[in-house]
A and B are shown apart, each in its own frame.
Chain A
């Protein structure tokens, strides 16, 4: 008699086994190599030598110190901005709530290196802010130079406040209005209700968002590479990049040890975050009601102005600066209607071989990664949503490549694939990048689809089985259409993330296989700022389009 696929008693079905095999190859094996790489050396066996060297080396301590100072300080900024924003939007009667959330999502989605470039064009020593200041003062002056660790901290803080904002918003919406109303009946004033009731109840949500912001800052590559590296300050992600790209060390042992440390901190942090989320969301189950709102009266105008100023300086300003720089005939020239030119765009589009090659590569990789992750995701998402043992483990392991810093995962891929003994010789080809993308974005697809299955009444699929539909037909006629918004959102999310990826491709690319992100970074690193900004503007336009599609199809993902 034939076996059906989803019984706990039957052996693991073939598709699941295939996913396990792929994850073993793209995730488990590289991670194992990463953890062992610093201790198992060819010809020496197990050794603590590299660990000792790392411990004695003052430059590695400096890297660690920079990394944690930058991540923690950026997290503090993210929490401050994200919590205030969420409180204003959920708990007050401030106007333009939709616009605030939309602008916030922009930070989340626009590639960090594009935002970093814009940030530098606005706040750099010859950026538009300092130019304006010089113009007003009548003499050349630099009010603030964004290059360096301080600029990195500020930008990382801004880039990651959206995760705190969204997490806090979810926690605040989860507070039943009665608990605040009852405090009001005791005569508690606004601040007392906020500080004694609202914020303590939302605290796990705020902390969970803070952990996400910390892990995000820890893993970010684009920002420290563009903002801190030129001034000589190195953090973990850029240190790995320098060591790998520069091949300054014959053995990767030392950098591997630091990288594993980063991976462990990130995974530990996310585990902690997971626990916090459960605390924040499952204690007070009364989500249907409108949250209790504080009327803030005339302060509204002041606070709205503050929000607009912040969004102007942090979101709109950098993009404007990016556009303005891209119109300059040469870097440093004064911009006027007569000097403005589109020749940078012309050059990027038609004069630079890499542009189209990189765009083609990125498109191929993005399409491949999106298709592969959705296919893998569909195999496991139902099991993840129904919380079945093996699928939960696949989900956990599969989320690690995305959780750990991208440069660390890229290093793990290199360690695994440079080995000549391994039968698949794909290192240095586009295939290793595709494998890395699939491993890294697997969890985006899986989690998005699992959210869909969670909402899907199982009886729709069961009804299809009972009326006689075979598994494939059931999938095509019932499952796919019913989960349309989810798989489309997953497809777009993976596609746009992969299209503009820099961190992993920055370490894995070889000549001829460059991606869009690598090209923008190389242009900027070589000093062609007018070209890199022009390319970035084009990428931003592409992103605007993707964002439009996401908002159209992915509404269920972002709540509203």
Chain B
């Protein structure tokens, strides 16, 4: 059942488009990640969800109740959503306990009951014992957990997270990421999580939506969006990718042979693509296999970067000047300057409908890696 339905959501700030016809639905209990670079409109989306910003057009329905229709909306205080801000926004003039109790003040319950519920929420986020502390005495990770408890305590219909981990250091971020995931599993709260960090989104989400320049590019499970990107932007944004243009020479419903500048490639695809079609193929660096050989293939190792768990190789196709990236687990096995031959173990043909303007931009930047 769809918990949250968003249809045709639009928002402009002056001439700048923040959201353009965004349509999606979120299932009950889902952990839904909204992923996009900064300025893609993801925070605006979340603020409209919370009622802090008005939409220009579109409908949002939560549990079947319309909370936004065009420029009219239910104000934030009547929406029953929980929002965890990027900065936490833990009220600095109140203790931890007061922060978590205040949202309950409006409810017709006794003070004892409110305290009990606040303590429950604090226990959930593992902050028991810190009730009387002031925010200035807490660490960044603890502050975010207070913010989470404060959002949880009113039992919101949906939880919204606005990059809550981005101000923490790497180690703490990973720790809290795992905890968030566990708490979500335990509480089963429908959550929308906004981030620009693709690793975070992949690690946490049941489904990911990729947003760019206010437009929804693709929605799907982490595996789906990684293995079957809808366009070059998505492929590019979800990790390193090598792109190659080619012509389909033969194919079936889910597989095709593509003739490219360095030979034939077997690539996955969705639906039969007619022979002779010009397509773009994505090859992930971990799927690029190479071995030392003579110079007949034209490939040479231009650079080797040792990164601990993996080693990255920059491979240059000398006749065309194309540069590809390949990664291997473990220590370097080949040194710079060697000539190699390569093979793509896996590849994906971008659906032909993909926006060509975006592709052009990516090719224009010459960015086949990163």
A residues with CB within 8 A of B: 1-4, 7, 9, 457, 459-460, 462-471, 473-474, 477-478, 481-482, 484
CB atoms of B52 and A466 under 8 A apart: yes
Please give, as numbers and ranges, the residues of chain B lying within 8 Å of A1 by CB-CB distance: 69, 72-74
Within 8 A of A (CB), among B101-119: 102-103, 105-106
Residues of A within 8 A of B74 (CB): 1-2
Complex interface bits, B67-109 against A, C-beta within 8 A gives 1, otherwise 0: 0010111111111111101110101110000000011011000
Indicate if B58 sits at the interface (CB-CB under 8 A): no
Which one of B78, B91, B106 contacts A463 once the chains associate, using CB atoms below 8 Å? Answer: B91
For window 40-79 of B, CB contacts with A under 8 Å fall at 50-52, 54, 69, 71-79
Which residues on B sit within 8 Å (CB–CB) of A478? Answer: 91
A94 → chain B closest CB, angstroms: 35
Residues of A within 8 A of B103 (CB): 467-469
Q: In the assembled complex, how far is the CB of residue A7 from the closest CB belonging to chain B, in whole angstroms?
A: 5
**Which residue on B lies nearest to A459, using beta carbons?**
B89
Asked if B82 contacts A466 (CB within 8 A), the reply is yes
Question: When the two chains form the complex, which single residue of A4, A457, A465, A481 contacts B87, counting CB atoms closer than 8 Å?
Answer: A457
Do A4 and B91 touch across chains, with their CB atoms under 8 A apart? no
Q: How far is the CA of A4 from the CA of B54 in the complex (A)?
A: 9
Chain B: CB-nearest residue to A484:
B93
**B259 interface hit (Cβ, 8 Å):** no
Within 8 Å by CB of A468, from B54, B71, B80, lies B80
Interface residue count on the B side (C-beta < 8 Å): 33
- Given contacts A462-B83, A473-B105, list 19 more A-B pairs with CB under 8 A: A1-B69, A1-B74, A2-B74, A4-B73, A9-B71, A459-B86, A462-B50, A462-B76, A463-B83, A463-B147, A465-B76, A467-B102, A467-B154, A468-B103, A469-B77, A473-B106, A474-B77, A482-B91, A482-B92
Residue contact A460 to B72, C-beta cutoff 8 Å: no
Most buried by B among A2, A463, A474, A477: A463
**21 A-B contact pairs sorted by A residue (CB < 8 Å):** A1-B69, A2-B74, A4-B51, A4-B73, A9-B54, A457-B87, A459-B89, A462-B52, A463-B83, A463-B85, A463-B91, A464-B102, A465-B52, A466-B76, A466-B82, A468-B106, A469-B77, A469-B102, A481-B93, A482-B91, A484-B93
Most chain B CB within a 10 A radius of its CB, from A2, A3, A468, A470 = A468
Question: Closest residue to A7 on the B side, CB-wise?
Answer: B54
> Which residues of B lie under 8 Å from residue A464 when comparing CB positions?
91, 102
Evaluate contact between A467 and B150: CB separation under 8 angstroms: yes
Residues on B with beta carbons closer than 8 Å to the beta carbon of A3: 72, 75
Nearest neighbor of B81 in chain A, beta-carbon distance: A466
- Which of B71, B79, B85, B150 touches A462 (beta carbons < 8 Å)? B85
What is the bound-complex CA distance between A432 and B78, given in angstroms? 43
Q: Which residues of B are found within 8 Å of A481, using beta-carbon distances?
A: 93
Provide the residues of chain A in CB contact with B52, threshold 8 Å: 462, 465-466
Are B75 and A2 interface neighbours, CB within 8 A? yes
Which residues of the other chain, B, contact A9 by a CB distance below 8 angstroms? Answer: 54, 71
B: which residues have CB within 8 A of A? 50-52, 54, 69, 71-83, 85-87, 89, 91-93, 102-103, 105-106, 147, 150-151, 154
Return chain B residues, CB-CB under 8 Å to A4: 51, 54, 73, 75-76
B89–A470 CB distance below 8 A: no
In the complex, A260 Cα to B147 Cα: how many Å?
A: 55
Residues of B within 8 A of A474 (CB): 77
Q: How many A-B residue pairs have CB under 8 A?
A: 87
Nearest CB of chain A from residue B160's CB, rounded to whole Å: 8
* Interchain CB contact (< 8 A) of B91 among A2, A7, A460, A471: A460
Check A459–B85 contact: CB distance below 8 A. yes
B83 to chain A: which residues have CB within 8 Å? 462-463, 466
Chain A residues with Cβ under 8 A from B72's Cβ? 1, 3
Cα-based distance from A3 to B69 in the complex (angstroms): 12
Note all chain B residues with C-beta closer than 8 A to A463.
83, 85, 89, 91, 147, 150
CA of A460 to CA of B92 in the docked complex: distance in angstroms? 9
Which residues in B have their C-beta under 8 angstroms from that of A465?
A: 51-52, 75-77
Cβ–Cβ < 8 Å partners of A484 in chain B: 93
- Point out the residues of chain A lying under 8 angstroms from B87, CB to CB: 457, 459
Pick from A474, A481, A484 the residue with the most CB of B within 10 Å: A481
Please name the 3 residue pairs, one residue from A and one from B, whose CB atoms are nearest each other, closest first.
Answer: A467-B103, A459-B89, A465-B76
How many Å lie between the Cα of A462 and that of B77 in the bound state?
A: 9
Tell me the nearest residue of chain B to A481, going by C-beta.
Answer: B93
List of B residues within 8 angstroms of A7 by Cβ = 54, 71
Give the complex CA separation of A312 and B92 in angstroms. Answer: 44
What is the minimal beta-carbon distance from A387 to any residue of chain B, in angstroms? Answer: 14
Set of chain B residues within 8 Å of A468, measured between Cβ atoms:
77-78, 80, 103, 106, 154
CB-based nearest B residue for A467 = B103
Contact (Cβ within 8 A) B151 A467: yes
Provide the bound-state CA to CA distance between A9 and B51, in Å. Answer: 14
**Please, which residues of chain A bring their CB within 8 A of the CB of B150?**
463, 467
Tell me the complex Cα distance, A140–B109, Å: 84
Closest to B13 in A: A8
Contacts of B75 in A (CB 8 A): 2-4, 465
| Chain A residues whose C-beta falls within 8 Å of the C-beta of B76 in the assembled complex | 4, 462, 465-466
B125–chain A nearest beta-carbon distance, Å: 15
Question: Which of A7, A465, A481, A482 has most chain B Cβ within 10 Å?
Answer: A465
Cα distance A484–B94 in the bound complex, in angstroms: 13
